[in-house]
Structure 1
Amino acid sequence: MKRLLYLGYYLKNLDKEKFNKFFDHVKKEHKMDSISLMTDIISSSLKYKISLLEYFQFRFYELTKEQRKSYAGTGYMYEYQLAMNPKLYRECLDNKIDFYKKYSDFVRHMAFGIDELRENSSLAPKLLANPSGKVVLKDSVGKCGMQVKVFKTEFFEGKDLISFMDAEKFDFAEEFVVQHPDIMALSPSALNTVRVFTQLNDKDEVEFLGARLRISVNSEVDNMAAGNIAAPINIETGIIDAPGVYSDITKDDAAVHPVTGVSIVGFQVPFWPEIIDMMKKSALHMPGNRSIGWDIAVTKDGPELIEGNHDWCKLVWQLPAKKG
Structure 2
Amino acid sequence: MRVGVYADPHFFVGTTTHARRSIVNRIRHYLSRLKSLDVRNFFAVSAAVAQESGRPRVFILIDMAYCSVIYQAGYLDYQEFEFWSLTRQERRTWITSGNANSIVLRYNQRAFRSRFADKLTFNPLFDQYLGRSWLNVRESTAAQLEHFITTHGTVMAKQVDGMGGAGMSKHRADEIQDFEKFRMTLLEQRQYLVESFITQHPAMASLSPASVNSLRMITFFDGRSVHVMEAVLRMGNGAEVDNYARGGMYTVLDEKTGVARYGAFDKYANTFITHPLTGTPIVGFQVPLYPQVLELLDKIARVVPEIQYVGWDVAIGEFGPIIIEGNYNTGVFQMKPSLTGSKTGLLPRFREVIDF
Q: Same fold (TM over 0.5)?
A: yes
Cα deviations by residue, 1:114-169 (Å, 9 ceiling, x for unpaired) = 23324xx76423421344x3111111011111111111121223332422312333
Please point out which of 75, 88, 104 is paired with 1:52: 75
Q: Does the Cα contact within 8 Å between 1:117 and 1:162 map onto a contact in 2?
A: no
Q: Does the Cα contact within 8 Å between 2:156 and 2:170 map onto a contact in 1?
A: yes
Please point out which of 168, 190, 199 is paired with 2:220: 199
The structure, 1 or 2, with the larger RCO (C-alpha pairs under 8 Å, 6+ apart) is: 2
Q: Does the Cα contact within 8 Å between 2:233 and 2:250 map onto a contact in 1?
A: yes
Q: 1:162 to 1:252 in 2, by over 3 A?
A: closer
Pair 1:236-2:274 in alignment: no
What residue number does 2:314 align with?
296
Alignment of 1:1-324 (within 5 A): 6-118=29-141, 123-131=144-152, 133-160=153-180, 161-201=182-222, 203-248=223-268, 251-314=269-332, 316-317=333-334, 323-324=345-346
Q: 1:4 to 1:33 in 2, by over 3 A?
A: farther
Question: Take 1:204 and 1:267, find their aligned partners in 2: how far apart are those partners?
Answer: 32
Identity %: 25
Q: 1:253 to 1:17 in 2, by over 3 A?
A: farther
Q: Does the Cα contact within 8 Å between 1:189 and 1:220 map onto a contact in 2?
A: yes
Question: Take 1:17 and 1:262, find their aligned partners in 2: how far apart are those partners?
Answer: 36
Question: Take 1:87 and 1:95, find their aligned partners in 2: how far apart are those partners?
Answer: 13
1:246 to partner: Cα distance = 2.0
Q: Does the Cα contact within 8 Å between 2:73 and 2:98 map onto a contact in 1?
A: yes
How many aligned positions are there? 317
1:308 to partner: Cα distance = 0.3
Partner SS, residue 93 of structure 1: helix
Q: Does the Cα contact within 8 Å between 2:119 and 2:160 map onto a contact in 1?
A: yes
Q: Does the Cα contact within 8 Å between 2:252 and 2:262 map onto a contact in 1?
A: yes
Cα deviations by residue, 1:214-266 (Å, 9 ceiling, x for unpaired) = 11111222111112111112222222121112233xx3321111111111111
Supply the AA of the counterpart residue of 2:161: V
Partner SS, residue 245 of structure 1: strand
CA RMSD of aligned residues (A): 2.1
Q: Which moved more, 1:182-191 or 1:271-280?
A: 182-191
Cα deviations by residue, 1:42-72 (Å, 9 ceiling, x for unpaired) = 1110111111221111211000111111122
Q: Does the Cα contact within 8 Å between 1:130 and 1:175 map onto a contact in 2?
A: no
For structure 2, the residue ranges without an aligned partner over 5 or more in a row are 1-22, 347-356
1:4 to partner: Cα distance = 5.8
Q: Which moved more, 1:32-41 or 1:142-151?
A: 32-41
Question: Take 2:306 and 2:239, find their aligned partners in 1: how far apart are those partners?
Answer: 34
Q: Does the Cα contact within 8 Å between 1:212 and 1:317 map onto a contact in 2?
A: no
Question: Take 2:294 and 2:86, find their aligned partners in 1: how far apart are those partners?
Answer: 34
1:75 to partner: Cα distance = 2.1
Q: Which moved more, 1:169-178 or 1:156-165?
A: 156-165
For structure 1, the residue ranges without an aligned partner over 5 or more in a row are none
Q: Does the Cα contact within 8 Å between 1:138 and 1:148 map onto a contact in 2?
A: yes
Supply the AA of the counterpart residue of 1:224: Y
Partner SS, residue 186 of structure 1: coil
Question: Take 2:199 and 2:248, find their aligned partners in 1: how far apart are those partners?
Answer: 19
Q: Does the Cα contact within 8 Å between 1:232 and 1:241 map onto a contact in 2?
A: yes
Partner SS, residue 276 of structure 1: helix
Q: Does the Cα contact within 8 Å between 2:231 and 2:253 map onto a contact in 1?
A: yes
Question: Take 1:26 and 1:148, find their aligned partners in 2: how far apart are those partners?
Answer: 31
Question: Take 2:40 and 2:303, find their aligned partners in 1: how far apart are those partners?
Answer: 42
What residue number does 2:6 align with?
none
Question: Take 1:277 and 1:83, find their aligned partners in 2: how far apart are those partners?
Answer: 26
Question: Take 1:247 and 1:87, find their aligned partners in 2: how far apart are those partners?
Answer: 31
TM-score normalised over the length of structure 2 = 0.83
Q: Does the Cα contact within 8 Å between 2:143 and 2:179 map onto a contact in 1?
A: no
Cα deviations by residue, 1:291-319 (Å, 9 ceiling, x for unpaired) = 110001111121111100001122x3455
1:74 to partner: Cα distance = 2.0
